Structure formats: structure tokens, C-alpha cells
Amino acid sequence: MSASNKIVIVVTGEPPEGIAARLGDYPAMFERALGNAWTDGFDIVDARCESLREGAALIVTGSSSSVHEREDWVLRAEGELRHFVDRAVPILGVCFGHQLLAQALGGEVKPHPRGREMSTVTVERLEEDPLLEGLEPRFVANACHRDTVLELPPNARVLGRNEHDPHQVLRFAPRAYGVQFHPEWDGEMMRAIVEARTEILEAEGIDAGALRARALDTPSGPRILQNFVKHYVRSS
């Protein structure tokens, strides 16, 4: 596991077919959302086929895979993430990445008993924390998940919740966080995801048109990413 001075974006999946060509892949979305908050470069690691590398920080992306299916690459990535948490490397897990960190550190990830959460949702901030600096007590975020962190790992602290999911924002360790939503997605990306999954949504009895109409830009997303860099990467 060689070290880098760049932020390592750990890829665990990609957008539905056709979206990346129009809106960029997940690394491009994170780079765009971070903007000038980070100018020292990025390394890209695909966790599905290569070992993780230490960097100035790790950001673990979303995925259509499920942590609870326990694929070999998931088990390997969990062990590597535990190593980096022990070394106090700053880590931010997003959606699947949030779940991967939770499972790696002793929690349990399962299909959500209330089903899918999708489109722009409201999250309640439960306490002050550097990651959530400047956010309103209730802020909006773009979400898309069927699984959830059902049981917290030891010492995890809940920083944000909503009616659908009580574990929207978690602090796993002093420099390790997870968010169940997608801070890198803007309204256009959220609408594109809904459109790409319309058939699946309708099969589940979900009104895709209503989800698409609800999708918004969420300034809280880039703010969370920029706070992560400001408080945990720049200060490392």
C-alpha cells in the first residue's frame, strides 16, 4: 500500500450507462464538487480490482453493489480500510462507501426494512461537528440507496438522521466519517439517476416522476466535502 500526497478516490462503482459520458464519472463529480478547496491532485483506485493506497485522504464512492453480499473485493477493501482508520488517515465514505466503512469497523449492513430512499431528502443535524460546519439544522441532500447501516460499529456517533434512515451521517473515528447520501451529486445528476432507474422504480410501485420533480441542487453537499478537506486533510 504505497502512500500518495493526493486525495485517493476509491472507486467502488460507476453511474448507470450513458450518464458518465454526459455528466462525468464519480471521481469527476467529486473533483467538481470540491472545486478550489483541493488543488493538490487526485489518485484513482478501483477497489474492485486493486488494493487501496494511502493518500492525504481517502474518499470511497457509491456503488450498485451491496456490502452484505460479501464479495471477495469487498472483504479485502474492508480490511484495508480498517488499516487506514488505525493509522488515522482521513476517510470519507459516501453511500456504499459509508456502509463499507461501517461493516469494516464492526457494524452491520442489510437491506433497508423500509425500502428505497431516493431523490432530494431532508437530513436533521444532531450536533455540531467540523464536517457539518455551516449547515442548517435541517439541510437537503441527494440520496439513492436500498441498503442501510442497521447496526452501528462500536464507538460510532450519529451526527445526522431523517425519518427514513437514522444513520445518515456517522463519525466512525476522529478522522473517519460516512454519509448515506451523495454530496457529489447536483440536481441534474439526481434527475439522471431517477430517469435511468424509472423502470425499476415503477416495478417497485414508486412514482419516478415525483422523484424527478423533487430533485434539487444541494449546496450542503459540496460544503460537506469542502469541510472534510478543510478540517481533516489540510490539517493532517
The catalytic residues are 95, 182, 184
**Which residues contact residue 28 at a Cβ distance below 8 angstroms, ignoring those fewer than 6 apart?**
none
**Which residues contact residue 39 at a Cβ distance below 8 angstroms, ignoring those fewer than 6 apart?**
none
DSSP label of 54: B
**Which residues contact residue 209 at a Cβ distance below 8 angstroms, ignoring those fewer than 6 apart?**
none
In contact, 114 and 84? CB cutoff 8 Å: no
φ and ψ of 164, to 5 deg: -80, -45
